[in-house]
Amino acid sequence: MATGQVRIRVPDGVKAGDVVTVRVLVTHPMEVLRMEGGKPVEKNYNFIHRMAATYNGKTVFEAETTQAVSQNPFFSFPVKVTEPGKLQIQFEDTEGRSYTGETDIKF
């Protein structure tokens, strides 16, 4: 699977002042914690650990996730929109790679 595809869904028919629910998913593996001799193996496990959403350049949502985040994690959050614009969502994994997706919210 192509890693790092960001899929964003916003509702149609948005009006100024509406609170819209943004749904976003990124395709990404989640490396499972390995145990050896009863102890967790100390290494840099690969999973999504940060996401941030900006609307017209202004940060509207940020999240930090830990080992418990799933494969292909899905986030949903509300945003109040007063003007049409560009929603950008960036994910970052523990190996430092980042994946960005964007969509337009039209009125």
- Which C-beta is closer to other proteins: that of 27 or that of 56? 27
Helices and strands in the chain: count of H runs, count of E runs: 0, 9
Nearer to other proteins, 9 or 34 (CB): 9
The β-bridge partners of 103 are 87
Is 27 near other proteins (CB under 8 A)? yes
Binder to other proteins among 7, 45, 46, 52 (CB under 8 A)? 7
Give the residue with the Cβ less far from other proteins, 24 or 69. 24
Residue 74 within binding range of other proteins, rule CB under 8 A:
yes
Kindly write down the DSSP assignment for every residue of 3-42, as one continuous string.
Answer: TT-EEEE--SS--TT-EEEEEEEE----PPPPEETTEE--
* Cα separation, 44 vs 62, whole angstroms: 22
Residues forming the site for other proteins (CB under 8 A):
1-2, 7-9, 23-25, 27, 72, 74, 76
